[in-house]
Amino acid sequence: MRCNRCKNEDMRFFQYDQGIYYCRKCIAFGRINVGDKVKPCLLKRRKINIEPKLRYELTSSQKEVSNNVYLNLKMGYDVFLYAATGAGKTECTYQSICAYLREGKKVGFAISRRQVVLEIANRLRKDFPSLKIVEVTQGYTQIVDGDLIVCTMHQLYRYAYGFDLLIMDEVDAFPYIDNDVLQAISNQACVGQKLYLSATPDEKMIEDIKKGKIKEVTLFKRAHNHPLCIPKVIQVPISIQILCIFYFLFKWKNKQVLIFVPTKEDTVYISKILSLFTKIKGVHSSSENKDEIIESFRSKDIQVLVCTTLMERGITIPDVQVIVYKANHVVFTCASLIQIYGRVGRSFENPEGEGICLCQSTNQSIRKCIRQIRMMNDSV
């Protein structure tokens, strides 16, 4: 017995109902009975002769990487683009996107987190103003087809056998990582090649690269040629960490600051304390008006934003400094810390900045994060 959508074969996840078995493992995406085939989605395809309208020219390194990615995809390989945060990995997909669209093929861009879907969709609209770009995520599900589709991993269930090229960003992030249902759904959504993007590959991705199942292309140099931010580690008790936050906020009084905390409760607690002294908001996955709060921070109406790992990926603020509070908490993995400090120094106008790691003691995640950032800096 096997589910034709999530490929489940575990009998514990099948339910018997009036003579029919159905799969409970992927029931969140709608009921599918054993033996039922997943219907292909009907997406419009047309040949589109398009080139991106970039605000700046790609560097020689980005051009070389873009070409290598496309050549490997053209030969039928899946590709993993291992790129430092802020190195321009999204722009390095454009050559491949244009080539597939010119052939009348369908391209999808799947991302783990809703906020990053909205960010990437807006960026693509600026770079491809003549394309119909649609984002498909919570609150944006009325229109599900366009010239280029940007969606969360969960929304890929709508696109069975739909994409000739599926670009998958943040494959090492929750909820996609270690989720065999989402992985099966993404496999079913792609009838051609996959292009994986990340600054923090997981062990399975590394193993698939070693076995030759996936081709790897690397880009560790940021376009502005400045190194990645290596965080300053400060080991002090939690009470002193609060004082450190006040110190750095005073030091950076003319700059925007992201303060990452491990829990929702910490978001509320730290926000209340700091609101007595500065213009501040807190945001986490359950916050009301998340989009409005984040947009206020982008537009500089808010100087300081306290957040959980909700904001660790895909968010670009031109001149931001970063503090991690309780950095030795289990929620801050090596991958999440690399992404968090990757928020610093992403723009040409402000290519440098500071990152502070406040912890009671260093742990493996903190030490590994620093080693990997140094490795990327030394590789350029």
pLDDT in tens, 258-274: 999 999 999 999 999 99
Residue 215 in this model has a pLDDT that exceeds 80: yes
The predicted model gives 335-359 an average pLDDT of 93
Q: pLDDT digit string (tens) for 92-136?
A: 999 999 999 999 999 999 998 888 899 999 999 999 999 999 999
Identify the CA nearest to 263 among candidates 295, 286, 244: 286
Around Cβ 349, how many Cβ atoms within 10 Å? Answer: 7
Buried b (16+ CB within 10 A) or exposed e, 117-134: bbbbbebbeebbeebebb
Residues whose CB falls within 8 Å of the CB of residue 76, separated by 6 or more in sequence, listed in order = 193
pLDDT band at 166 (very low <50, low <70, confident <90, very high): very high
- Order the strands of the 163-169 sheet from edge to edge: 133-136, 148-152, 107-111, 163-169, 190-198, 78-83, 214-219
313 against 340, higher pLDDT: 340
Query: Any long-range contacts for 296-303 (C-beta under 8 Å, 24+ apart)?
Result: 297/256, 300/256, 302/256, 303/256, 303/257, 303/278, 303/279
For 14, 20, 156, 158, 324, the CA distances from 33, given in Å and listed in that order, are 9, 7, 19, 17, 47
Can you point out the beta strands (E) in 199-242? Answer: 214-219, 232-235
Quick one: pLDDT at residue 348?
A: 87
Token output for 170 = 């943040």
Omega before residue 175 within 30° of 0, cis: yes
Assess contact for 373 and 230: CB atoms under 8 A: yes
pLDDT band at 47 (very low <50, low <70, confident <90, very high): very high
Token output for 189 = 């959504």
41 against 318, higher pLDDT: 41
Quick one: pLDDT at residue 359?
A: 98
For 228, 248, 322, 368, the CA distances from 305, given in Å and listed in that order, are 22, 14, 10, 26
Least confident of 28-32, 231-235, 312-316: 312-316
Average pLDDT, the chain: 94
Residue 177 in this model has a pLDDT that exceeds 80: yes
- Round to whole Å and give the CA distance between 257 and 337: 16
Least confident of 2-16, 120-134, 306-320: 306-320
pLDDT band at 223 (very low <50, low <70, confident <90, very high): confident
Quick one: pLDDT at residue 203?
A: 87
Q: Report the percentage of the chain scoring pLDDT > 70.
A: 100
Assess contact for 256 and 296: CB atoms under 8 A: no
Quick one: pLDDT at residue 123?
A: 93
First to last CA, the chain: 51
pLDDT band at 288 (very low <50, low <70, confident <90, very high): confident
pLDDT band at 201 (very low <50, low <70, confident <90, very high): confident
Quick one: pLDDT at residue 200?
A: 87
164 against 285, higher pLDDT: 164
Assess contact for 65 and 217: CB atoms under 8 A: yes
Residue 314 in this model has a pLDDT that exceeds 80: no
Q: What amino acid occupies position 91?
A: E
Half-sphere exposure of 283 (CA within 13 A, CB side): 21
Phi, psi of 315 (to 5 degrees): -95, 125
- Round to whole Å and give the CA distance between 91 and 159: 24
Quick one: pLDDT at residue 161?
A: 97
- Round to whole Å and give the CA distance between 364 and 203: 16
* Number of H-type helices and E-type strands within the chain: 10, 15
Residue 300 in this model has a pLDDT that exceeds 80: yes
* Unique residue bearing structure tokens 């078995």: 21
Assess contact for 261 and 311: CB atoms under 8 A: no
Quick one: pLDDT at residue 55?
A: 86
Residue 296 in this model has a pLDDT that exceeds 80: yes
pTM flag (> 0.75): yes
Quick one: pLDDT at residue 315?
A: 77
